[in-house]
Amino acid sequence: MNNNIAIDGPAGAGKSTIAKRAAKELGYIYVDTGSMYRAMALYFVRDGISGDDEQAVSEACEYIDISIEYVDGEQVVLLNGENVNSLIRTEQIGKMTSDTSKYKTVRKKLLDIQRGLAVRNNVIMDGRDIGTCVLPDAKTKIYLTASAEKRAERRYKELSEKGVSCEIDQIKKDIIARDEQDMNRAIAPLRQAEDAVYLDTSDMTIDEVVKEIIKIHLR
Ligand code: DC
């Protein structure tokens, strides 16, 4: 029986924090698909490939192997066997990821891996195209969003707490630009699946959102 949960939404909506918590409560596996695209982007950056060069990006895909494993319940993404978790959360990689995840070869590479994980386990998977494309038969689909202001504020707080100096206006601009690109690409754009529940988390706490998702899933 398919018990999978698909969560999609724009950057900074809180998908990973919420999905991780809900997965723990339900005893499911959390699959963060964004980190897989980010690991591929890291390879392109390291190889000096331009995000605009679809041919070079597509050719490089042949040399990339992405897998995930779980260490103490945390998802670890492996790029050709190397744990790259600590290297993929920068703005530079975020931008490169948005630039290159629009290409067919990049998406094809990850689709089978993502579907394979959902066949073997009960998963909560988050990303941009999970409900619409990767797991169209997921039992529960959530479209998680919040206002651009709220999302920028949360990201600013997170970075400031890590000691990273940043400007909230710039963060907001970057978030909006990334959403634009992710929503308007030709292949697997970010959009709400017809059968997804829309959740605006602007004025909700993490606990409230997790509870709501679990309630929707178990009803
Ligand atoms: O969720 P995130 O910020 O880690 O995602 C980074 C980028 O990866 C995002 O801008 C678009 C892309 N992405 C995608 O195209 N499809 C997914 N399922 C997940 C992420």
Q: What is the CATH number of the domain that holds 109?
A: 3.40.50.300
pLDDT tens sequence for the chain (219 residues): 689 999 999 999 999 999 999 999 999 999 999 999 999 999 999 999 999 999 999 999 999 999 999 998 889 999 999 999 999 998 899 999 999 999 999 999 999 999 999 999 999 999 999 999 999 999 999 999 999 999 999 989 988 998 888 899 999 999 999 999 999 999 999 999 999 999 999 999 999 999 999 999 999
Domain membership flag for residue 217: no
How many residues are given for the chain?
A: 219
The answer to whether position 215 is within a domain reads no
Q: Is residue 12 part of a domain?
A: yes
Q: Rounded to an integer, what distance in angstroms lies between the CA atom of residue 53 and that of residue 36?
A: 20
| Residue 151 Cβ contacting ligand 1 at under 6 Å | no
Give 214 Cα–ligand 1 centroid separation in angstroms: 23
Confidence (pTM): 0.95
Q: Within a domain: residue 29?
A: yes
Tokens of 91: 């703005």
Kindly state whether residue 214 falls inside one of the protein's structural domains.
no
Count: domains in the chain? 1
**Residue 90 CA, ligand 1 centroid: distance in Å:** 13
Domain interval for residue 16: 5-206
Rounded to 10 deg, the angle between the 104-120 and 54-61 helix axes is: 40
